[in-house]
Structure 1
Amino acid sequence: MPAPASAPRRGRPPAFDRDEVLAAATRLFWQHGYEATSVTDLTSAMGIRPGSLYAAFGDKESLFEEVVRRYGRSPVGAFVTVALEEEPTAHDAFARILREAAAVYADPSHPAGCLMISAATNVTPQDAGIQDRLRELRNGNLRTFEERLRRARQDGELPPEADPKALAGYFGTVLQGMSQQARDGATTADLTRIAELALRAWP
């Protein structure tokens, strides 16, 4: 008995795999930054025509925003959030964050450092919104750090005189520095030594 005919598909089938082209765009933005990555660079790396890029993503800025959202959900972008959620103490969470950053930032399977720290350098005034967006994401991480450290102080894990805001800023600064060190060639071993030294500042 012949198989029943399948219902016709509506609309045009996708001409490319969205995850694959986003992965290519992510690597390019991560390696070169937003400003230095042109639409021509993107379409070449993604293997699509400019018209397909604009039809699928809107424009370069919208594509970058999707890249950032995708990065934030990936293992290399979400390890900070995961550590804060999974570790029972603030100390364990920040120790895990710093140690995992040493491994993630220097991992040769992708560009060095953190995309959200390095992608918005040297942005021109007309693209300042990108810089502002990434700054707000980074500042959001600092606020999350501070909230976790305030709870740690309330729970007695930190002494009463500890300054959660300053401590959050300290760990944020260390992470940003580790990202840049990785881009300058630091290895996981190099960054791990920095992470362990930074942890000695825990009150």
Structure 2
Amino acid sequence: MSSNCPESDATDSTVPSNEHWSSVSKHVVNSYLEANNAFLAAMGISPSSESETSTITTRRRPENAEAPITELAFGNEAWLMERSVDDYDDLDVGEYVRFTKTIDDTDVSAFAHISGDTNQLHLTESFAEQTQFGGRIAHGTLVAGTISAALARFPGLTIYLSQDLEFRAPVEIGTTVTANCKIIEKLGETRYRLQTTVETDDEITAIDGEAIVVIKEQPAN
């Protein structure tokens, strides 16, 4: 993945306090359990957890919000999704998916813990206040992850081949962002080039770029 950022992040980092991490430990554990259950399900093994899969709210057809998208193992009722086409055979240039979620403090802390990116710019308010951003901001790669989330919601099985990113604006913690992925060129039978952007709820483009993906028909269960 290539990226270009006009303002580089601060390079100093410290290990966050135990008190800071305790607030997200449950989130991290739950994320691990969900990933493990998804793997077991893919292998045809019933997960031992009794937790139910959450539904995905659809902005385009809210009356169908009760039905989850079958291609996805897990969802969250706070997430929003809109897509222009529901059938794999209808994929073509111009079709799109939009995915919306709020980047909250738990997301930032969990991402720092999982990735190891403990830059103070993202975790320590007193430090971040002294930077050009005036406060803590979300990791750029965390925000860019919403592009991957949107791609996963195209009908079929989406496989990343490449992603170019340009970080245009910071995303403050607590901001709701929308990833937009639109097919702009068909490169082969299953290969596509897409325009990929992430916008804030103030319609500011935080990330711009292009992706090359393969979208195959969803394997039979």
Larger radius of gyration: 1
Q: As a proportion of its length, which structure holds more helix?
A: 1
Q: TM-score, normalised by structure 1?
A: 0.26
Q: As a proportion of its length, which structure holds more strand?
A: 2
